[in-house]
Amino acid sequence: MDEQPRLMHSHTGVGMAGHPGLPQHMQEGTGGTDGDGRKQDIGDILQQIMTITDQSLDEAQARKHALNCHRMKPALFNVLCEIKEKTVLSIRGAQEEEPPDPQLMRLDNMLLAEGVSGPEKGGGSAAAAAAAAASGGVGADNSAEHSDYRAKLSQIRQIYHTELEKYEQACNEFTTHVMNLLREQSRTRPISPKEIERMVNIIHRKFSSIQMQLKQSTCEAVMILRSRFLDARRKRRNFNKQATEILNEYFYSHLSNPYPSEEAKEELAKKCAITVAQVSNWFGNKRIRYKKNIGKFQEEANMYAARTAVNAANASSHGSQANSPSTPNSAGGYPSPCYQSDRRIQ
DNA sequence: AAGTATGATTATGT
DNA sequence: ACATAATCATACTT
């Protein structure tokens, strides 16, 4: 309240100086007797302020009302707004537009992809499952860990949403509060609707920067969760015995060319209840480890060779055709365990 | 606890 | 796109 006269004074002062249409002599009214005149002015103002505090509230209110009802008031208000607009814009008018923050977009995309900011639980878990499959091809068997992961994710999701809502609410509350305040003040100060709008924009920007922090920390939490639960390297489970047997059977019966085709991989994956990627991993590891130390695998190789031989015998005993079920190791790349002769590896 | 086995990842080459 | 080789990180064995 007490800065009202000062503000008015300074604004009119700036306005006079800046407004082109006003007569010159008004600007230099106190120019001649500079020092003393100004002192006198300040004294007057101080006096006014003191009297304001002396006035009763009703009286002040009445004066205000009278001022507001003055017939020149709207015009003056507009002029003052215009002047203020000009000066403010000239000071910081250029930095208005805001390009969509790339980092914010990145965070948004990630949250959407992880199913945190997505529609609801159904879509969210589906997205999470897709992310899991993409990250490392975790099989469908470890459902216990997966549900644990999903539970933790939905927890994060819930926190995120409640926090976001809180921020939103706080932002709205604050915005309406500020708007009401400015509107109220616009009865006594030159505040244009445009300025209020700008203020609202500033508030929104501030709040969205806070939101970004929330998004960032949420992303972090999701990342940690993922690395804990979905990085299969951390939670490695050995394949079950049956799966290993199937894979080994294929490997040793195709020792000459242990490179299953895409279809063969798919079939093996199906039989072993693992993914095609895991089949590829297995064969990659097996080939290199076999090659590195054939002696170590000799026993295993012989065992599987014997087994397939028995199978073949059984099969041939049924049908007259004596064809082995799988291609025999003849012109291959890996030396056979029993009679290792030529090694044809790169 | 140390050592080994094993599934996954990464770097590199073709 | 796929293969290899090295490496990582865990599971399993001794």
For residue A108, what are the CA distances in angstroms to A30, A112, A114, A115, A166?
Answer: 60, 6, 10, 11, 18
Bases of strand C lying below 7 A from some protein CB: 2-12
Residue type, A62: A
Provide the angle, in degrees to the nearest 10, between the axes of the packed helices A102-114 and A193-229. 50
Handedness of CA A225, A229, A233, A234 (dihedral sign): positive
**Closest alpha carbon to C1' of B9, residue:** A233
Distance CA(A110)–CA(A114), nearest Å, equals 6
* Separation of alpha carbons A110 and A108, rounded Å: 5
Work out the pLDDT band at A232, boundaries 50, 70, 90. low
pLDDT in tens, A161-200: 999 999 999 999 999 999 999 888 887 778 888 888 889 9
DSSP secondary structure letter of residue A331: S
Say whether the CB atom of A292 is under 7 angstroms from strand B. Answer: no
Name the average pLDDT for chain A.
73
CA distance linking residue A2 with residue A8, whole number of Å: 11
| Cβ within 7 A of any strand C atom | A 233-238, 259, 262, 280, 284-285, 287-288, 291, 333, 345-346
Secondary structure (3-state) at A146: helix
Give the distance, in angstroms, between the CA of residue A346 and the centroid of all CA atoms in the same chain: 47
CA dist A39 to A43, A53, A319, Å? 6, 21, 123
What confidence tens digit (pLDDT) does each residue in A40-97 have?
A: 877 887 787 777 667 677 777 887 788 778 888 788 778 877 887 777 666 655 555 6
Using an 8 Å Cβ cutoff, are A14 and A87 in contact? yes
d(CA A327, CA A261): 14
Q: Which nucleotide is nearest to A265 (CA to C1')?
A: C2
Confidence at residue A263, expressed as pLDDT on a 0 to 100 scale: 94
Concatenated DSSP letters of A209-278: HHHHHHHHHHHHHHHHHHHHHT-TTTT--PPPHHHHHHHHHHHHHTTTS----HHHHHHHHHHHTS-HHH
pLDDT of A321: 47
Residue A46: CB atoms within 10 A of its CB come to 12
Nearest Cα neighbor of A303 from A259, A249, A256, A246 is A249
Quick count: other Cβ atoms within 10 Å of Cβ A89? 13
Residue pair A260/A281 in contact (Cβ under 8 Å)? The answer is: no
A123, pLDDT greater than 50 = no
Strand B proximal to A47 Cβ, under 7 A: no
